Amino acid sequence: MTMPAETDGGGTLPLKAPAFGLANYLVCLKGILVREGLRFLHQRERFVSSLVRPLLWLFIFAAGFRQVLGVSIIPPYKTYVLYEVYITPGLCGMILLFSGMQSSLSMVYDREMGNMRTLLVSPFPRWFLLVSKLLAGVTVSIAQVYVFLAVAWFWGVKAPPLGYLMVLPALFLAGLMLCSLGLLLSSMIRQLENFAGVMNFVIFPMYFASPALYPLWRIQESSPLLYKICLANPFTYAVELVRFAFYGQIDWMSLGIVAGFTTLFLAGAIIAYDPSRGLMTRKQDTGGNA
């Protein structure tokens, strides 16, 4: 594969990417995965805070909003459930959302600190490096979700035993979508400080305009416009995909929409991080020309 930007830009010999075998790719993937895992394990505060956040919602928020007489039946539930059972898939979604955005933060941090250069000078194709980074992020997110589910299990929030297995692919896909979104956003954020903006303009709106905390029919009752906004929110479908998977069901519409958005965000991120076409380069160029 040639890299036109560098050949054109440099005006020198065309650079050929070295031909790597599968084993080489795996070594690279492993390196990125291990680094992400180590970083997560070494930042104990991050681990604790990532666990404390959903648990606060489960223990305190759900207690406050607890509908002792049960949430009325909506699919995939076949009978009445308690509020804490209802919000558990939403809280799994929340972990994926925050974790996905946190990897975007780490990309910005890496760029500021110069660590990213180490990654980007790697001779592997840029898309592969980004996908590996994504997979590493998703793996860490899913590990957090399962720790949360284990704690919830002891709290009495239990899904069907097979549901814990069935939810894995749904968590993976939903995690991939949110991490890709994070990656795409990270390409647009110039500085670490801007992350607060992501928090206020992306994470919270996505989280609250979704069925994570309340069934959408309730939102529809209070505001049809808000309901439409919720329907346009990709996170809505991530939560529903996870919720249905817990009960061994596939919500095909959510699956299609989440897969579609994953492709879109991932393609966007790959383009954004591509040095030839990337948003960063373009911004720098315009900045430089002006």
Partner 1 sequence: MRRRLCVLAGAVAMAAFLAGPASAYMVYVSNEKDNTITVVDSSTMQVVKTVNVGQRPRGITISHDGKHIYLCASDDDTIEVIDTATLEVVDTLPSGPDPELFVLSPDGKTLYVANEDDNLVTVIDIESKKVLAEIPVGVEPEGMGVSPDGKTMVNTSETTNMAHFIDTSTHEITDNVLVDSRPRFVEFTPDGSQAWVSAEIGGTVSVIDNASREVIHKITFEIAGLRSESIQPVGVRITADGKKAYVALGPANRVAVVNTETYAVEKYVLVGQRVWQLAFTPDQKTIISTNGVSNDITFIDVATDEPVQSVTVGALPWGVVVSPN
For partner 1, the binding residues (CB under 8 A) are 66, 68-70, 72-73, 78-82, 161-162
Bridge partners for 16 per DSSP: 2
Which residues, in sequence order, are CB contacts of 259 under 8 Å at separation 6+?
Answer: 173
Which residues, in sequence order, are CB contacts of 231 under 8 Å at separation 6+?
Answer: 216
What minimum distance in Å lies between the beta carbon of 81 and partner 1? 7
Q: Give whichever of 79 and 286 is closer to partner 1, judged by the CB atom.
A: 79
Going from the C-alpha of 203 to that of each of 9, 158, 199, 284, the distances in angstroms are 38, 27, 5, 27
Q: Give whichever of 66 and 218 is closer to partner 1, judged by the CB atom.
A: 66
How far apart are alpha carbons 231 and 237 in whole angstroms?
8
Angle at 181 between CA 17 and CA 214, to 5 degrees: 155
How far apart are alpha carbons 81 and 73 in whole angstroms?
8
What minimum distance in Å lies between the beta carbon of 50 and partner 1? 29
Going from the C-alpha of 268 to that of each of 129, 180, 251, the distances in angstroms are 15, 8, 26
Going from the C-alpha of 280 to that of each of 104, 186, 202, the distances in angstroms are 15, 10, 20
Residue located via tokens 């029919």: 217
Q: Give whichever of 59 and 127 is closer to partner 1, judged by the CB atom.
A: 59
What minimum distance in Å lies between the beta carbon of 159 and partner 1? 11
Q: Give whichever of 161 and 287 is closer to partner 1, judged by the CB atom.
A: 161
Q: Give whichever of 166 and 209 is closer to partner 1, judged by the CB atom.
A: 166
What minimum distance in Å lies between the beta carbon of 246 and partner 1? 14
What minimum distance in Å lies between the beta carbon of 146 and partner 1? 19
Contact at 8 Å (CB) between 184 and 271?
A: no
Q: Give whichever of 114 and 161 is closer to partner 1, judged by the CB atom.
A: 161
What minimum distance in Å lies between the beta carbon of 63 and partner 1? 9
